[in-house]
Structure 1
């Protein structure tokens, strides 16, 4: 199993395919396996790298105060460890927030960023969603939190049609003996994130991909990012909810791959 060193920790990662690197950065769950529906399609043309965030999956369970800035730094250090000078970055939700930070702080390391189902900063709606999820985690425990998560992430029809697959995947989302304190700290990191004042510094051609029925990071966030990032292209999928990359993978893959290929045309 490959692990890469970062500051006082190790990150589990996987590589698939060859070609120009694409860093695929997952959301709050943090597990690289989130991107399984994308691997085959992307690895046909690219060197695909995915990883478990620190505190999740098989990566180190560091007892730190988590932040989006720390997660962005871990992503950059993973690139350094793999001798990746520059890469496309496809970020989902929290991964999209990481993309915002890296596009501002290390613009030369990112080629074409994709910010999917992400947000600008916690407003009243976002704060209420994540405060409720944190309260559930602390009061009822990790199992209840994991079981409730698809209600926020997936459309009802997808849960109905994939309940057995979903329950099987839930058993490995956070690995054995999930650490509630780490999970709660990662939620706090999302609530503290706000780089809106610097989004105008992003000069990359950026794809902001939202979903019309995303009820965790509503499409109005995508439109706001499109306004604040000068060279952003906003696309809104009609269906798929927050985890559209899993629930509508063919459409998601086509949209993102078309955007990445435009950069090499």
Structure 2
């Protein structure tokens, strides 16, 4: 019985010894590989340093690399430039972060539809919103109020966004001054009455200004104020200059 118990112990010891030998071989192989890698890395690093020195010697003036003082000054200048560059990047990042942070906050947009125009403007401007205003006339809305708003009130938006408002204003007819130069004065008055006075109120035709010009026929409109195609607004005064050869004949 005792002989049978000793055999397994011997086999176990042999296996442990073989395993340890294998581990040692593997560790030695790994160390050799590490040494090879380190040597290759060292060679690559030496080549990189060599090419850097060669590049510096090309771009820098002669003697600055060999002169320890000049090289020290160059190193300090390079370090200073690097520090300034890093600081600039930090400043830009901080500014961008602050802008994005301040403009990125969302809030509920006030509803100004139906409100008086100045009240709506003040409400939206206090929230830092940009306004795009359009005016139209609607007979079913009070004058001077907001008819529509886009984006609609009650939704979340970011500050600085443009809000489009349509304001109800009184309708104004745009009447342009007809061209009456080169025609008889009485005919010019008829055209102005039909095209302007019939539509606009508080427009005055002042007494005609007479001149004597041999280039024009008698009683012809030589010039006009406002000019042709100008918009005629309320309280406009119309002045026509007319050629009058009778004045010369009387003299």
TM-score by length of 1: 0.14
Say which structure, 1 or 2, has more relative contact order (CA 8 Å, 6+ apart).
1
Structure with larger Rg: 2
TM-score by length of 2: 0.14
